[in-house]
């Protein structure tokens, strides 16, 4: 298992894999063992694949838990300073050259067939895949709803700016989308917001309606924004401008 104290933004494609599952962790010791176990034992997770864990300065036992796996397919990279989830995921997908990239939360549990289901969609021509997830409590008891019940994916640019309709833990992308996503424009609050913009730009989307993972909801993940309304509106305006210019950047890249 590799352990890097600092990852430079200029360091792209350091390692290679068929599938890169990118998991960003911060003080995730309570649940991360169960999530790692579900990923590395999933159907179709082969020797060509890696689980890339970006630790964002955890102060609990997260890193110790990861290291105890002693698995060469688990790559651990660590930040010298707190980056936040968006920048951490950007660094994670930049670090590895892969055919497919899966996003993962630290506290969920994957169904054993998740990777296989996503691969079938990619092989059918999809460039972005969304898999449904079942809402569960901290003990994995079903809460009666799924992600697609609450946040159905939308392909309209304006609607996604008003209310993003993609959940990072349910997403996977191919190499072309990853290359076009990098670098993330500023300001982007979360990686799934930026990924959702690519659906509105016409990249082929496939949706798996069956539940592919257990989306754990607990007290530690519920946070309320304390920013005043004018701050939120100003940020949204900046995000619209950023995605507009980034969209043209993507168009020029594709035309090349």
Q: Give 98-136 pLDDT, tens digit per residue.
A: 999 999 999 999 999 999 999 999 999 999 999 999 999
User: What is the span of the domain harbouring residue 31?
Assistant: 3-255
Distances (CA, A) of 201 to 34, 100, 123, 164, 196: 36, 19, 21, 14, 9
The tens place of each residue's pLDDT in the chain, 256 residues long, gives 544 433 455 668 889 999 999 999 999 999 999 999 999 999 999 999 999 999 999 999 999 999 999 999 999 999 878 888 888 999 999 999 999 999 999 999 999 999 999 999 999 999 999 999 999 999 999 999 999 999 998 888 777 777 778 999 999 999 999 999 888 876 666 888 888 888 878 899 999 999 999 999 986 664 444 556 656 566 666 666 666 666 656 655 655 5
Query: Considering the entire predicted model, what is its pTM?
Result: 0.88
- Whether the CB-CB separation of 217 and 135 falls below 8 Å is answered with yes
Q: CATH number, domain at 226?
A: 3.90.550.10
Alpha carbons 191 and 102: distance in angstroms, whole number: 12
Q: Give 198-212 pLDDT, tens digit per residue.
A: 887 889 999 999 999
- Report the number of distinct structural domains present in the chain: 1
């Amino acid at each position: 298992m590799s352990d890097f104290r600092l990852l430079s933004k200029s360091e792209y494609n350091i390692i290679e894999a068929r599938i890169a599952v990118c998991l960003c962790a911060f003080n995730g010791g309570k649940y991360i063992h169960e999530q790692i176990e579900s990923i590395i034992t999933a159907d179709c997770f082969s020797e060509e694949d890696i689980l890339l864990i970006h630790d964002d300065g955890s102060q609990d036992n997260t890193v110790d838990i990861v290291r105890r796996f002693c698995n060469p397919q688990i790559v651990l990279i660590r930040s010298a300073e707190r980056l936040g989830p968006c920048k951490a995921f950007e660094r994670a997908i930049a670090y590895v050259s892969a055919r497919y990239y899966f996003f993962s939360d630290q506290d969920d549990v994957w169904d054993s067939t998740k990777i296989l289901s996503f691969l079938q969609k990619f092989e059918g021509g999809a460039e972005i895949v969304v898999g449904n997830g079942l809402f569960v409590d901290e003990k994995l008891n079903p809460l009666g709803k799924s992600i697609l019940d609450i946040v159905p994916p939308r392909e309209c640019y304006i609607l996604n700016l008003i209310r993003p309709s993609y959940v990072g833990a349910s997403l996977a992308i191919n190499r072309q989308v990853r290359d076009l996503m990098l670098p993330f424009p500023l300001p982007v609050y979360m990686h799934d917001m930026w990924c959702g913009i690519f659906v509105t730009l016409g990249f082929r989307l496939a949706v798996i309606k069956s539940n592919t993972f257990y989306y754990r909801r607990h007290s530690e993940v519920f946070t309320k924004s304390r920013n005043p309304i004018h701050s939120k509106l100003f940020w949204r305006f900046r995000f619209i401008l950023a995605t507009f210019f980034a969209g043209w950047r993507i168009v020029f890249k594709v035309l090349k």
